[in-house]
Chain A
């Protein structure tokens, strides 16, 4: 699978650049569109959670809540972009797949690169927010790109089986966005789980993206490295999903091609 991506690396890069160029440079406001959606979402959540509804989110008030929120929400948005676009990569590239030898994972990988690009912009956005919130930046923020790569790898590993299954079961196309919407509430993004009972925290940490999302907050706000347990979980889920995607795409490859 990874070998295929390496084989088609030039194509992946070239089409990544063209996509970027035409997706954003072709529009009047360009890159503004990339950040508009997340910024709006942040504003809504920040207003609702820290001003209107005074729930104890555990993430602080006002600007410090905004920082708390963005440090979790931005990675999640990039992750969910990866899943939603990656899982439809085969379907939207069916025209190419039907006639060419390009393996499916190449298209999913291209989506990973594009999500990575959004991720990069989000991470850059985090810096001024952090400064405004009066949160000092330490060398540990250099770990954020590493965490980002890990999170995208997880998303990639999940998107490949989904992309294949979506061809066989078109209903998945409707189901995935719903799941992505609900999924964020099972993760400590809008709220902190620090004050949750221990058993609930344990349960939540079984959620694959849990430690990935946490790691951003650890290095940015808590100024500490993720725990050993976190690294273990991150490594485990990445390996796990890459193996699953390898197995599923090998198993379903021919059936998927026949159906395209």
Chain B
């Protein structure tokens, strides 16, 4: 073990015995284990990894992937069935703490008690009490019995205490998902301080945003095995794939239900547009189409979101440009086709929408039955981190109206746009803060508006 590796996990496996009933266990004992009356449930399969000093490891995976089991083993609560793990220094686990709290005791007393349980010497935590109390911001509740606390306040207390106990490995389990955003933000700031002090942190979470922002190393667990280990970007991609496979809906995006998606029969398109770049046909095969992607006028047959390298992506850094590739097929003849994309937040706030008319495209003058229309729309995602839902819209306009569009008023044009198909919640993209951006936020609010600023101090004389 090299000096800066604080946790080394090797081929860790955990099998739980599941007995259908208690008599099964008695029978097994009576036969001295010669006959098995239990089923084995493998919770962890051959998991290996290392964490170094000051490292920030993220563990993500769907529910039941074995994340908690893994943490419990590292913490020492459970024994592995096979494999080994070595830790250097003190391991603290926030998983452990909220369990050891007593409702009758005040926050302050609980901290003293927990520090005792965790093996800190007498008086150690008392010295830090001021800092802890200040960090927790519980005010008068700090000296009230824990029974009066809300769940958020408990987490506050627990985290505040952990943030000031010295340790070499800190294990956090989804705790930061609760609590208000100000406290959360403070927690992350504190975690970064801890990392600078060479504490290694292991975080189990469902928040892909957190992972991409903080973790330099991410493990994706699936059915107890490591299905990916590496950079946050690809881990998140992998995680979404797993979720998609499992048909689990992506949590934060209410409007985007996996169930609504069918991997509808892929239609091979031999032709590709000559006028602009188009990703390889094979990439489209992978991507699912929204369920309601067809009406009696038109049909969406392809949809793909890529980054600027034309790699399929659903997660983008702030300010990155997303490329939407989509193909419509007309089911009847229509006039000038006008296509566009609307972007909405998870709470259904319409933040941006642009169509080909607004972008001033050279439009084809007709879109006829069975013809395909290829579209490629670029969008610079100068947005706050979060999940965004996009809708695809197709309108048609008579060539006559289209020709005199300059003369028509805005309301007139709106009236002349005949809706062909509108695909709500065609997909979700996630915008995350660029990796390891320690400085100031790029902007406040939802959108990053282009602008500049001057400043000068002018003396009185």
Contact = CB atoms under 8 A, between A and B. Distances in A.
Interface residues of B, number: 25
Nearest to A10: B116
Given A14-B113, A255-B17, A95 B79 contact: no
Interface of B: 16-17, 22, 25-26, 72, 75-79, 93, 95-100, 102, 104-105, 113, 116-117, 122
A11 interface: yes
Interface in A92-150: 95-102
A144 B391 CA distance: 83
Interface stretch (A72-80, A164-172, A192-200): A164-172
A91 to B, nearest CB: 14
A100 B99 contact: yes
A8 B117 contact: yes
Nearest to A99: B99
A99 B96 contact: yes
B76 A101 contact: yes
A100 B117 contact: yes
A156 to B, nearest CB: 21
Contacts of B16: 258
A168 B22 contact: yes
A99 B98 contact: yes
A97 B26 CA distance: 24
A228 interface: no
Closest 5 CB pairs of A and B: A99-B99, A254-B79, A22-B104, A100-B96, A10-B116
A96 B104 contact: no
Nearest to B69: A258
A18 B98 contact: no
A8 B113 CA distance: 11
Nearest to A169: B22
Contact of B113 (A11, A95, A97, A98): A11
Interface in A189-221: none
Nearest to A26: B104
Nearest to B91: A101
Nearest to A171: B22
Contacts of A184: none
A18 B99 contact: no
B129 to A, nearest CB: 16
Contacts of A254: 78-79
Contacts of B26: 169
19 contacts: A11-B113, A14-B113, A18-B102, A18-B105, A95-B99, A99-B72, A99-B93, A99-B95, A99-B96, A99-B98, A100-B96, A100-B99, A100-B117, A101-B76, A101-B77, A168-B25, A254-B79, A255-B17, A258-B17
Given A10-B116, A11-B113, A99 B25 contact: no
A21 B104 CA distance: 10
A257 B79 contact: yes
A15 interface: yes
Contacts of B75: 101
Contact of B116 (A11, A253, A258): A11
Nearest to B173: A99
Nearest to B43: A258
A15 B105 CA distance: 10
B77 A257 contact: yes
B77 A100 contact: yes
Contacts of B113: 11, 14-15
A140 B151 CA distance: 55
A170 B19 CA distance: 13
Interface in A224-249: none
Given A10-B116, A11-B113, 15 more contacts: A8-B117, A11-B117, A14-B116, A98-B99, A100-B77, A100-B96, A100-B100, A169-B25, A169-B26, A170-B22, A253-B79, A254-B78, A254-B79, A257-B79, A258-B16
A72 B138 CA distance: 52
Contacts of A99: 72, 77, 93, 95-100
Nearest to A94: B99
Contacts of B72: 99
Given A11-B116, A168-B25, A169-B22, A96 B99 contact: yes
A98 B76 CA distance: 11
A253 B78 CA distance: 9
A22 B102 CA distance: 11
Contacts of A14: 113, 116
A102 B17 CA distance: 23
Interface string A1-25: 0000000101100110010011000
B75 to A, nearest CB: 7
A102 B119 CA distance: 11
B18 to A, nearest CB: 10
B35 to A, nearest CB: 17
A22 B106 CA distance: 13
A137 B95 CA distance: 55
Nearest to A23: B104
Contacts of A26: 104
Contacts of A253: 79
B96 A101 contact: yes
B173 to A, nearest CB: 9
A255 B102 CA distance: 26
Given A99-B96, A169-B25, A170-B22, A15 B79 contact: no
Contacts of B25: 168-169
Contact of B117 (A102, A255, A258): A102
A58 B22 CA distance: 45
Given A99-B77, A257-B77, A18 B104 contact: yes
B98 A15 contact: no
A18 B16 CA distance: 36
Contacts of A255: 17
Nearest to A258: B16
Nearest to A13: B116
A15 B77 contact: no
Contacts of B116: 10-11, 14
B78 A257 contact: yes
A96 B99 CA distance: 5
Contacts of A100: 77, 96, 99-100, 117
Contacts of A15: 102, 113
A74 B373 CA distance: 92
Nearest to A170: B22
Nearest to A172: B22
A101 B93 CA distance: 10
A171 B21 CA distance: 12
Contact of A258 (B22, B78, B95, B98): B78
Contacts of B95: 99
A101 B90 CA distance: 13
